[in-house]
Structures are given as structure tokens and as C-alpha cells.
Structure 1
Amino acid sequence: MKILDVVFVYQMKEETEIRWHSRYHSHGKNEFELHYFIQGNASFLNDRTRFRIEPGTLFLTSPEIHHSIIVQDDDNPLSYYAVLIGTEDSDREIHRLLSIDLKSNRLYHLGTNYRFFFEEIKEKGLSANRALRQSAVHQLISFLYVLSGEEDFHFSDSRNSHIEKALRIMQNNITNNLELEDIAQRLGLSNSYFIRLFQQKMKTTPMKYFMKLKIEAAGAMLTSTDRTLLTIAQDLNFYSEFHFSRVFKQYTGTAPSIYRKQYLQFVDKEPDQ
């Protein structure tokens, strides 16, 4: 098993983005795809079956089966991760894990706090470092075991409701200035308790996580639109283009202009028929 590609699509708004990511397409033999939706509302067309997609849901598509994302609400744009998995005929255990989900044709309700997991899969799975790529593969295999382990497994419960709500607040305010006090107040928690609760679950502080969301959004804009660095900086409410570039490099290790050249997606290119 290997990870062939990982894509993060943030707030799909541009016409070219929608046309590319909503195309009706399939993948080759032994190629499976995971779609993890974190924001927005849409429908997922798998062959001839249409599923309702909501934030925090995951769907798995099988090889050579046509599928498409159908955007329904322009005022609530879609954000999601897509992971393309390649397998060999000899990967019998992997096929067994994947086939459990394919037979049931069901959505999994993971909650939106698996964003970090999929972001890590993206960063490691596309790394030039072989050890990191293998690490991502093993993380994904472990994830598939959890998915197939229980018939009605839910990844989030009432104990995580504060974190789930905090994540939604952050996602909905990517383009704004958001302070720690604002989030804690909306949750009805003290600042100190909210920080401690968030760190226990997400392994980072709330505001570091919020900045990471902004950088993820910036990365998506850089690789799927032709917006200038200044426009992106303004859209995401950074103080200046210089501030945006400095923070982006701090989080990714790469300057925005170089990142764009390395990961540019040609979303305006017509897909092969």
C-alpha cells in the first residue's frame, strides 16, 4: 500500500476550483480514495447513489467507480481532504479492511477534530523522505483498522463537544481576527480551562491551531487560485504581505512563492475524458 496523493481543498469558491473538484471521475485498478469533509454542505455521488455530506463525515470510494462532489450551497463553501491510496493485488489485508466499507456504502461521522490527522497524512505522505512516507502509510492503516473495527463506531462524543464547537468557531472565522477570549466566552469557559482542555485533545494551544488553519487556507489559495500574496494576506487578515510570508515560512518551512511553484494545481485544466 502507498499514498499516491493528498489534496486539501479549502472553501471551494472559484469557478475553476468547483469545475475541477466536482468532475465526475474514477480512479484505476486497486486505487481507493478517502474524502474527509470538514466544512460546508454538499452531496457525494458514488456511481448512481447520492449521499448527503456534512462537516465531519468521511466517505471511501472504490477503484474504477465514478464519483463526484455536488456543490449545493455557495454561501457555505466546502472544505475537505482527499487521500488517494494505491494497493497491490498482494495487499490482501488492506483490501479486506477497505472492502468492509465498500460493501456497506456508509458515511462515517468522525467529527471535525480529525483535521490534524489528515493534515499530518498530507505532510508526511507527500514528503521526499521515505521514512516519513512510510510513517504516513502505517498511520493510515491503523486508521482503517479503527474504521472497520466496530459496526457503529463514532470518533467523537459529548465529552468533546467543547472542542468540536471551538473548531467550528475557528473554521468560520479564518478571515477574521479571533482572540482566545472570544472563543472561551462563546464556549462559556474560562481562558485557562479552555486552553488546558484544548491542549489535552489537540496537543497544541488554541491560537497556534487557529494560525495553522490560516496557513492551511493560505496553502490552498496558493495552489488553486491565482491570487497575489498581498490579496491572500488581506483575505486572511494578516497585518501585511511581509507578515504573512514570515508566518507562512515559519509554519511550512517554505516561502509562499516557492510553495506555490512546488504544489500548484492546474485547476483550470480540463480533465481527461
Structure 2
Amino acid sequence: MYDIDIMRVSSCILVPRTLQIFEPHVHGGYEVHYVLSGRGAFDLEAQTIGVRQGDFFYTRPGTMHRMVVANGEYLLQYIAILELDPDHDADLADDMEAMVGEGRIRRLGDRYHALFAQISRQTMSIDSRQQRAASARMAGFLYDLMVDTPTASGSHPAVEHALEFMRSHIAVSYSLDDLLAELALDKSYFIRLFKKNVGVPPMKYAMNLKMSAASDLLRTTPEPLAAVAARVGFDDEYHFAKRFKQWSGTAPGAHRR
């Protein structure tokens, strides 16, 4: 049995698509990658693996690796760091190696977008219960991954179109009606279809993308709040601050401390 109070998700962030390359580096924990869109490659010591939308893989502690993205390309991905206790989490580490394998690509498609958005939000919470919940969700995800037979995404083309629209319109304010006009679909039908494939309603997922991007900007840039709000499609920084607090549980300023 895996002890989620020992296996800990120390961070889970949406890495901006503007990030093009990392220098070779190592981590003290397991580094988990889930690609939302784009394509690129990772150098893992003696091997290079290509990745694209929907791919999942991980690296072990101490493995030298780096991300490489060609000119004109991009990667939008979640990266999570897992801290495993060598004594209590040995079974989990062994199972991951046997059933998933370091650097081995699992093509998961779009079905875990909402899960990673939720884990990311919970790891940033100041509430320790939310942080433990993130670890529990990650443990459940890994367990499911190890017992399920890998499958292709199977997403409906309209859902894939909607997801690409959302990813490319993070900086734009738009409504569900705007999205429906792009897709030329009935509202009730599309909402049911999207929720079945992704797990949450379309505009909730769209807001998760915007807030995850805003969280990264708050942590990594000195831009004023109004500028951050504008970069994720908000004209009013006070409205943005309210929505951000609803999403993360903390005010935007707390992410800069």
C-alpha cells in the first residue's frame, strides 16, 4: 500500500510555451511530464525521445536530462516533481519502473488535462489538506496508469479542436458562444461531449488554463498585476484577482512571496 503522506507532490506547474530549452540538469525527485500541446524532444543521458500532445513520461532522481524545442515549435506541458521515501515507497518506485519505465512514452491523449490542472492548483495551496489531496490524486493517477493498457486518445475531433482553440486563446477574452461559433455545434451536445472526454465543462477547463498560465507569470515575472491579467484575457485586474482567488484559494500576491 502506498503512503501518500510520504509520497509527496512538491510541485506541479504548467510550463509556458515560450520556454524553449533547458540546460542539462538533475532533480532529487521523480520528474513527471504531461504534454498538453506542441512537440519537442528530451535528452535523457544516452537517449533522445520525441514528445507531442498527449504524451506522458518521467525521469528518475539523478538522471541528467534537458528539454529541447526546435525554432518555430513549442511545448506546453505540466511538469510535476514527486518526492518518494526510499524505504516506504520502494514498491511504488519498482512498479513505476516495471510498468511505465523511465523515458518510456505513454500516449494518454487529452483525458488527464483536468486532473493535472487540479493537482497543480492544489500543490500551490497554503492548506496542507489540499497539498495532501494533490499527492493522493497523483498516486491514484499513477496506479491507474500502471494497471491500464495504454490506449490512444480517442477524443472526438470537435473536442480536440476546442482544446486547441483554448490553448491558442489564453490571452483572449471569449465566451462559450464564441467557442460554439468556432465549432459550429449545438451547445448542449458540445458541453456533454466535452465533459465526457475531458472530465469538466468546457469553460471551466478554459479558465483552468488561463489561471495556470497566470500563476506561472506571477511566480516567474515581475510584471504588475494588470499586465498579468491582460496576458490571460482580463481587462479588469480586480475581476482577475477575484477569479484567481476562487481558483487557487489565495490572492495573486501570495504567489510572489
User: 1:103: how far off?
Assistant: 4.5
Give 1:255's aligned amino acid: A
Q: Corresponding residue for 2:11?
A: 6
TM-score, structure 1 as length reference: 0.80
Q: 1:92 and 1:7, CA in 2 relative to 1: closer, same or farther beyond 3 A?
A: closer
Q: 1:226 and 1:126, CA in 2 relative to 1: closer, same or farther beyond 3 A?
A: closer
In the TM superposition, what whole-angstrom CA distance separates every residue of 1:228-273 from its partner, at most 9, and x where no partner exists?
1121222222122222222222322322222222xxxxxxxxxxxx
CA contact (8 A) 1:110 1:156 kept: yes
CA contact (8 A) 2:39 2:69 kept: yes
2:194 to 198, 206, 210: 198
Q: Corresponding residue for 1:24?
A: 24
Q: Corresponding residue for 1:163?
A: 159
Q: Corresponding residue for 1:154?
A: 151
Q: Corresponding residue for 1:92?
A: 90
User: 1:89: how far off?
Assistant: 3.0
CA contact (8 A) 1:40 1:77 kept: yes
Q: Which structure 2 residues correspond to residues 122-133 of structure 1 after superposition, within 5 A?
A: 122-125=120-123, 127-133=125-131
Partners of 1:66 and 1:58 in 2: CA distance:
18
Partners of 1:126 and 1:230 in 2: CA distance:
21
Secondary structure of 1:215's match?
A: helix
Are 1:83 and 2:80 an aligned pair? Answer: yes
Secondary structure of 1:174's match?
A: coil
Partners of 1:101 and 1:188 in 2: CA distance:
41
Partners of 2:90 and 2:249 in 1: CA distance:
38
Give 2:242's aligned amino acid: R
Q: Corresponding residue for 1:49?
A: 47
Secondary structure of 2:112's match?
A: helix
Partners of 2:8 and 2:228 in 1: CA distance:
30
Q: 1:67 and 1:169, CA in 2 relative to 1: closer, same or farther beyond 3 A?
A: same
Q: Which structure 2 residues correspond to residues 113-124 of structure 1 after superposition, within 5 A?
A: 113-124=111-122
Secondary structure of 2:210's match?
A: helix
Partners of 1:141 and 1:218 in 2: CA distance:
26
Among the aligned pairs, what percent are the same residue? 29
Q: Which runs of 5+ in 1 are unaligned?
A: 262-273
Partners of 2:122 and 2:230 in 1: CA distance:
29
Q: Corresponding residue for 2:61?
A: 63
How large is the RMSD of aligned CA atoms in angstroms? 2.5
Q: Corresponding residue for 1:267?
A: none
User: 1:66: how far off?
Assistant: 0.4
Secondary structure of 1:112's match?
A: coil
Partners of 1:136 and 1:235 in 2: CA distance:
27
Are 1:212 and 2:200 an aligned pair? Answer: no
Q: Which structure 2 residues correspond to residues 254-273 of structure 1 after superposition, within 5 A?
A: 254-261=250-257
Partners of 1:83 and 1:64 in 2: CA distance:
15
User: 1:115: how far off?
Assistant: 2.1
User: 1:155: how far off?
Assistant: 5.8
In the TM superposition, what whole-angstrom CA distance separates every residue of 1:157-210 from its partner, at most 9, and x where no partner exists?
14x443233112111111123232332243342112112222344454322321
TM-score, structure 2 as length reference: 0.85
CA contact (8 A) 1:39 1:80 kept: yes
CA contact (8 A) 1:113 1:167 kept: no
